Structure 1
Amino acid sequence: MEFSVIILIGYLTKKFFERDTGKILSKLVVNFTLPAAIFYSFSTSRFHFSKFAFTATGILSNLLLIFLAFLFFSRIKDPRVRIPIILSFVGFNTGLFMYPLAESLWGEASVVNFALFDLGNSFFIFGVGKAVAEQNKKGILKVFTFPPFLFLLVGITMNSLKVVPPGIVLDVARTIKNANAFLVFFLVGYYLSFRSVYEKFRLILMAGLVKYAAGLLVALIAVKIFSLSSFEEMNLFLSPLLPSAIMTLVYSVEKGYDAELASGLITFFTIVSTSIIMAVNYTWG
């Protein structure tokens, strides 16, 4: 897939860039490309809020995963290692990973489903994730000054009021957001260190086992509880099994944690989630 090629480009070319390139690119992502991607997606799609199952699943998935993250990994003494692992349990990568993949596999209807899941997911990424990264509970309140979350609220409000942004606004947002996927996956490759992944593979594998076991549990319960069509059930089942949010890496870079470990976690989880999605798409009813 395209994202693996971009990760490879970032990995192979990082030696040609200055040392602080990663921090500069992460600031571009947080303040420009990611807000534009969120705003464009939420202001141009039509949501059916009756599908509360997806939003509820997004909330419950995060609550369980965050609880397990602190239960299993809070005893790691080094915050440079502990925080990226805990962050990898906070939020799912819907906007950058699942939106384009879902549209290519199942069409626009599936994007709406995952966007509704993202309503319950986004607060954890931009609020709880920020608090974890800063090791300060008050960081949750900073979600309301965080550009991606602010543009999320604007997009949802405009969508619910059926307000269509002017064409020039959408054109600018689309142009900026088109750079988002490249910058983010380039950052993954830029900070990827196979030596670091190899040295910490047991830790990454343990995190993966906990994350996907919990995700599978939530997925099975959600499909059992909510009454949906077979297509919607498939989307709902996959939602708690998505890879970690890219903000795991962005926060780690901003706060000086182990960015190589964060990149390794994201890369490993992205590979696992992609395999699960393809298998489910091939075998589902």
Structure 2
Amino acid sequence: MSQIVILQKVAISIIIIFFGYAVKKMKFLPAETGKVLNSFIIYITLPASIAKVFLTTKVNTNLFVLTLSGFAFGFITFIIGFLAFRNANLKRETKGTLIISLCGYNIGLFAFPFVQQIYGNNGLLHIAMFDMGNSFNVFGVAYIAAYAFSQSDKLDLKKVFKKILCFVPFDTYIIAFILNVIGIKFPSLIVNLAEQISMPNTTLALFVIGYFLDFNLEKDEILSLLKGLAIKYTPGIALFFVLPLFFNTASMTIKAIMLGTIMPTALVAVIYSNEKDLNTKLASIFITATTIVAIVFMSLIMIKWH
């Protein structure tokens, strides 16, 4: 794919994001629109997109390296953040939110639309395998961290595991992957249905990302935000320079690892922060900042490694 085509597709995606932001600012839609659309994506169009990928593309067992990478890089970043902030002179709620925000990536709502635009179903399969490992961090490790920094709750492992096992996109990953590996063929009606339901996912996900953008910063949060951003993107920046020395960057596997590690903070950072009385506003700001940084890095990677 030529650089001009890639730039056009990235530009269209960015325009949709800022269209979502503009719609929120102009207050055309009800206040709860962002939450409603987010739930619709998570429980309807995102699972359909995942199902479509695994129903139409055969999984190669070599792609398990992506699942391992998705978990490993997110967990390593979480550990670095935990060590960096655990003794920092910060409020409990700020410290907790920063550590949660460093655990895992927003793959389903952010990476899926861009990757589908540029690399098609094969790219989606690769980034979905990365996200399968990432899901353990986002819905497991991050939730445990939220408990750890909560003043009111004691850690309930049963509740944590229930949250992971009852999360629809994660369940879809596991079920669709197993069915793919054992070679079960579905009738075209089922495949076409999944494809039809998944069609709005790209546009809706980009729109919702824009809808959640927040540019309001307070001075006392800026330093913590910058330190958190440095920790979050150090592995991705290191990979950008190291991977081409040892691997062919034309490989979709290498592209998926690179793209996965520069994705924004998962939206659950806001959900967990709100649920456990942490710094919800900082979570929103962190997501906004990482979304902007990810757009820049991702555009650079897609153009340079086309």
TM-score (norm 1): 0.79
Residue-by-residue CA offset, 1:94-117 (whole Å, 9 max, x unaligned): 333333433443454433332332
Shift of 1:210: 0.8
- Residue 108 of structure 2 is aligned to residue 95 of structure 1: yes
User: How far has the Cα of 1:49 moved from its partner?
Assistant: 1.3
Instruction: Give the counterpart letter for 1:111 in structure 2.
Output: L
In structure 2, which of residues 17, 22, 25 is the aligned counterpart of residue 12 of structure 1? 22
C-alpha contact (below 8 Å) 1:197/1:264 kept by paired residues: no
Instruction: Please identify, of 36-45 and 146-155, the stretch whose mean Cα deviation from structure 2 is larger.
Output: 36-45
Q: Is the 8 A contact 2:243 2:249 kept in 1?
A: no
Identity level (%): 28
Which of 252, 260, 270 is the equivalent residue of 1:239? 260
Select the residue among 271, 276, 281 that pairs with 2:292: 271
Verify: 1:154 aligned to 2:175, yes or no.
yes
Query: Alpha carbons of 1:218 and 1:197: their partners in 2 closer, same or farther (altered >3 Å)?
Result: farther
**Matched residue SS, 1:244:** coil
Give me the whole-angstrom Cα distance separating, in 1, the residues matched to 2:168 and 2:139.
Answer: 9
Match of 1:164 in 2: 185
Structure 1 stretches lacking a partner, 5+ long: none
Residues 40 and 84 (structure 1), Cα distance of their counterparts in 2 relative to 1, 3 Å cut: farther
Task: Give secondary structure in 1 for the equivalent of 2:62.
Answer: coil
Counterparts of 1:1-285 in structure 2 under 5 Å?
A: 1-14=11-24, 15-74=27-86, 75=88, 76-79=90-93, 81-135=94-148, 136=155, 138=157, 139-142=159-162, 143-196=164-217, 200-217=221-238, 229-232=248-251, 233-252=254-273, 258-284=279-305
Contact 1:127 1:140 in 2 (8 A): yes
Q: CA deviation at 1:128?
A: 2.3
Change (3 A) 1:183 1:113: closer
The number of equivalent residue pairs is: 282
- Rg comparison, structure with higher value: 2
Superposition deviation, residue 17 in structure 1 = 4.2
5+ unaligned residues in a row in structure 2: which ranges? 1-10, 149-154
- AA aligned opposite 2:262: L
1:48, distance to aligned residue in structure 2 (A)? 1.1
Counterpart amino acid of residue 140 in structure 1 = V
Residue 7 of structure 1: SS of its match in structure 2? helix
Amino acid at match of 1:231: A
- Give me the TM-score of the superposition, normalised by structure 2: 0.74
Change (3 A) 1:262 1:47: same
Distance 1:244 1:4, change over 3 A: same
Distance in 2, matches of 1:257 and 1:165, equals: 45
SS in 2 for 1:195: coil
SS at match of 2:250: helix
